[in-house]
């Protein structure tokens, strides 16, 4: 089994050449992120990922988390790894110094998080959920709630969860039924939540559940949902965990993948909870922080794709099978065969495109937060809002495709668990479902992010791509020329679809094409990044790492010919094919 190696060269290239780390580090409050500090962080994180997390990924999957009598035991090695993770300050990386964090930009925590997700996705979910809960508390929690909970959670000694889903309320949270009755300064929370990631475990001293519930007189629907903090143990004044609260884990799910991550059924029986923000505005808080959570899941797609690629590449160099097509002779490693190369290039090029899009979006998040000029903050936020469903939807769907190609490269051994290739495919499969399915992301993209504002942000982005076209036109490199043509046709395809969406009067036809449109946006946004990467590589060729830079240009060209080339067909599906999805009546589905 190959060991995970963080793709540090590509990470640095994207950070410096595409996402503009230097400029981000000049934003107020981010001065710590000097190139030297960032380099040191990446090196250390890479060691932790390959030395500590990667070795317990496969064993964690095989062993899984276990539930006995309400307690959950995580697999061997997880407890020790989590302790080391917290002692190393990794949990605190993205948070402000006043809460015990390191105050680094999202652009820096993003590659670090990619490493955790690549080396051990199940493990990475615990800090991911804690981060989400911290952000919700910082955003809307009272000073007292922040003081009691946030420092412990930033340190990682207490972890967090997000309790949204109930059996009858998944994509549609207006159907949430959990109740919260006021009792003086607190509430009593009763109800059942399902699918709660790290809802119960043995890694930390306390678990801080953020729970969506309704107060008795709340209005129906999404406008009647409030958010509560419900700790497993009530905190004592000195900060130690005190009395056990009435929040218990009734069982954990048996799943297709992420076996080491416990997915809990949580039962609340008049558990003590504290309101976060105002009554009936819980979903609003969740929506504000959803960008961060959706981005984080999109990054899981990038991370799994990277890991699947590394393993497939290692296997392809070792597995001897078939003769060289031209030279004949003895059987050769399968990496010599053009079709295996094609698969590896598809894996590599899409992974790099996704990484570049994700990091560029992370940089825009930093600008949206810290840019001194309000208009610039707004512009960057609009770009982030547009790209979040794309990063979430496209990177996760593509992550699954890449993990599946990884199995294919392995042949029969890919289907056998020992190689580990199958685990990536199983683990990746959840990423298009949780934090909003791809269908829900695509509806968000088409409805809220494009139709509602007449396509303004999408059109501004397309205009910037046309400026890039002028730069590409100046290159004499044949690969860049070929990529330019593919990108131009992709940009036109997106423009046609944006016009179609903005002008459409048929909501059903538009929404039936929403997922193909999301895919088109992803492919073209990835092409945009690969074209920028090719130009940056071309500029450095004379003085830089030639092998890496030439590979970058060739990989970008491949992406154009094999991935971007799909854009016009997707445009036709969006514009002409939508109505077809509704062509059969429900009875006709049963007619055969
Ligand atoms: C392993 C795992 C971990 C999870 N972790 C958490 C967690 O920590 N906290 C938490 O609260 N939840 C968690 N979830 C729940 C997860 O977020 C939901 O499963 C997800 O949002 C989808 O909801 P659902 O399962 O009810 O599917 P449904 O909403 O029933 O969707 C079924 C299908 O219908 C489609 N669909 C639904 N509504 C529409 C619509 N209006 N238009 C078009 N298509 C639609 C969906 O796209 C999907 O294809 C987790 C789930 C799993 C499996």
Q: What's the whole-model pTM score?
A: 0.97
Question: What is the C-alpha separation between 82 and 90, in angstroms, rounded?
Answer: 10
pLDDT at residue 202, rounded to an integer: 98
> In angstroms, what is the span from residue 171 Cα to ligand 1's centroid?
5
Provide the 3-class DSSP secondary structure of residue 58.
Answer: helix
Determine if ligand 1 sits within 6 Å of the CB of residue 437. yes
- The neighbour count for residue 183, using CB atoms within 10 Å, is 11
Which distant-in-sequence residues (6+ apart) come within 8 Å of 416 by Cβ? Answer: 422
Residue 171 near ligand 1, beta carbon < 6 Å = yes
Sign of the alpha-carbon dihedral angle for 432, 438, 439, 444: positive
Atom of ligand 1 nearest to the CA of 255: 1
Q: What's the pLDDT score for residue 389? A: 98
Taking alpha carbons only, the member of 211, 368, 190 closest to residue 268 is 190
* Alpha carbon distance 110, 24 (integer Å): 13
pLDDT score for 1: 62
Atom of ligand 1 nearest to the CA of 193: 11
Contact 158, 207 (CB under 8 A): yes
Tell me how far the alpha carbon of residue 441 lies from the centroid of ligand 1, in angstroms.
Answer: 11
Ligand 1 binding pocket includes 99 (Cβ within 6 Å): no
Report the C-alpha gap between 213 and 228 in whole angstroms.
Answer: 7
Instruction: Output the CA–CA distances (angstroms, integers) from residue 590 to 101, 394, 432, in the order listed.
Output: 57, 32, 28
pLDDT of residue 289: 76
Q: Which of 17, 397, 435, 538 is catalytic?
A: 435
Sheet strands (E) in 448-489 = none
State which of 159, 170, 264 you would mutate to test the pocket of ligand 1, scoring each by most atoms of that ligand within 8 A of its C-beta. Answer: 170
Distances (CA, A) of 172 to 168, 221, 283: 8, 9, 11
Q: How far is the CA of 200 from the centre of ligand 1 (A)?
A: 20
* Gyration radius of the chain's alpha carbons: 24
Q: Which of 361, 293, 330 is nearest to 522 (CA)?
A: 361
CB 479 within 8 A of CB 557: yes
- Asked if 304 and 424 touch (Cβ cutoff 8 Å), the reply is yes
Catalytic annotation present for 418? no
- Rounded average pLDDT per 10-residue block, the chain, 592 residues: 92 97 95 92 98 98 97 98 97 91 94 98 97 93 96 97 96 96 97 98 98 96 96 95 98 98 98 97 85 95 98 98 94 98 98 98 97 97 97 98 98 95 98 97 97 97 95 96 98 98 93 97 98 97 94 98 98 89 90 80
CA-to-CA distance for 138 and 211, rounded, in angstroms? 16
- Please name the residues in contact with 512: beta carbons below 8 A apart, sequence gap of 6 or more: 577, 578, 579, 580, 581, 582
Q: Which residues sit opposite 588 in a β-bridge?
A: none
**Given the CA of residue 436, which atom of ligand 1 is nearest to it?**
21
**With a 6 A CB cut-off, is 434 part of the ligand 1 pocket?**
yes
Q: Kindly state the DSSP code that residue 348 receives in the 8-state scheme.
A: H
**CA-based nearest residue to 524, from 445, 453, 406:** 445
* Pairing relationship of beta strands 233-235 and 179-183 according to DSSP bridges: unpaired
Is residue 150 classed as helix, strand or coil in its secondary structure?
helix
CA distance 160 to 138: 13
Looking from the CA of residue 197, the nearest atom of ligand 1 is: 8
Q: State the distance from the centre of ligand 1 to the C-alpha of 436, rounded, in angstroms.
A: 6
């Amino acid at each position: 089994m190959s060991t995970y190696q963080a793709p540090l060269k590509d990470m640095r290239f994207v950070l410096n050449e595409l996402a503009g780390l230097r400029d981000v580090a000049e934003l107020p409050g981010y001065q710590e992120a000097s190139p030297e500090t960032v380099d040191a962080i990446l090196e250390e994180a890479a060691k932790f990922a390959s030395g500590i997390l990667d070795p317990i990924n496969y064993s964690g999957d095989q062993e899984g988390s276990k539930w006995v009598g309400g307690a959950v035991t995580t697999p061997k090695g997880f407890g020790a790894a989590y302790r080391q993770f917290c002692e190393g300050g990794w949990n605190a990386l993205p948070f402000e110094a006043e809460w015990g964090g390191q105050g680094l930009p999202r652009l820096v925590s993003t590659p670090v998080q990619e490493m955790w997700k690549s080396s051990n996705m199940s493990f990475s979910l615990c800090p991911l959920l804690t981060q989400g809960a911290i952000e919700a508390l910082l955003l809307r929690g009272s000073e007292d709630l922040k003081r009691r909970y946030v420092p412990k959670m930033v340190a990682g000694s207490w972890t967090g969860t997000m309790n949204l889903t109930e059996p009858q309320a998944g994509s549609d949270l207006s159907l949430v039924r959990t109740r919260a009755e006021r009792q003086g300064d607190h509430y009593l929370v009763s109800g059942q939540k399902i699918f709660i990631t790290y809802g119960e475990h043995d890694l930390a001293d306390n678990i801080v559940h953020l729970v969506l519930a309704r107060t008795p007189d709340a209005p129906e629907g999404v406008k009647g949902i409030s958010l509560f903090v419900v700790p497993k143990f009530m905190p004592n004044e000195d900060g130690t965990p005190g009395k056990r609260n009435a929040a218990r884990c009734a069982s954990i799910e048996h799943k297709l993948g992420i076996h080491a991550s416990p997915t809990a059924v949580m039962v609340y029986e008049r558990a003590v909870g504290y309101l976060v923000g105002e009554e009936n505005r819980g979903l609003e808080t969740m929506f504000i922080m959803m960008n961060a959570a959706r981005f984080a899941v999109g990054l899981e797609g990038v991370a799994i794709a990277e890991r699947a690629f590394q393993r497939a590449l290692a296997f392809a160099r070792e597995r001897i099978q078939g003769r060289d097509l031209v030279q004949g002779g003895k059987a050769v490693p399968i990496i010599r065969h053009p079709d295996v190369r094609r698969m590896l290039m598809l894996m590599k090029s899409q992974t790099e495109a996704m990484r570049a899009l994700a990091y560029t979006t992370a940089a825009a998040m930093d600008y949206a937060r810290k840019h001194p000029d309000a208009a610039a903050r707004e512009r960057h936020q609009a770009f982030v809002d547009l790209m979040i469903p794309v990063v979430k939807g496209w990177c996760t769907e593509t992550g699954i495709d890449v993990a599946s190609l990884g199995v294919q490269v392995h042949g029969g051994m890919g289907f056998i668990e020992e190689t580990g290739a199958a685990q990536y495919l199983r683990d990746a499969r959840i990423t298009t479902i949780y934090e909003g399915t791809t269908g829900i992301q695509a509806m968000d993209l088409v409805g809220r992010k494009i139709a509602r504002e007449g396509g303004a942000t999408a059109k501004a982005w397309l205009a910037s791509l046309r400026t890039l076209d002028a730069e590409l036109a100046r290159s004499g490199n044949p690969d860049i020329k070929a990529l330019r043509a593919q990108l131009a046709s992709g940009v036109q395809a997106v423009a046609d679809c944006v016009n179609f969406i903005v002008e459409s009067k048929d909501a059903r036809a538009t929404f039936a094409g929403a997922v193909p449109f999301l895919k088109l946006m992803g492919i073209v946004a990835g092409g945009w990044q690969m074209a920028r990467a090719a130009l940056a590589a071309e500029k450095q060729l004379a003085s830089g790492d030639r092998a890496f830079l030439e590979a970058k240009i060739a990989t970008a060209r491949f992406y154009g010919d094999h991935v971007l080339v799909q854009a016009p067909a997707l445009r036709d599906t969006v514009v002409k094919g939508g109505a077809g999805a509704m062509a059969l009546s429900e009875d006709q589905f049963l007619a055969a």
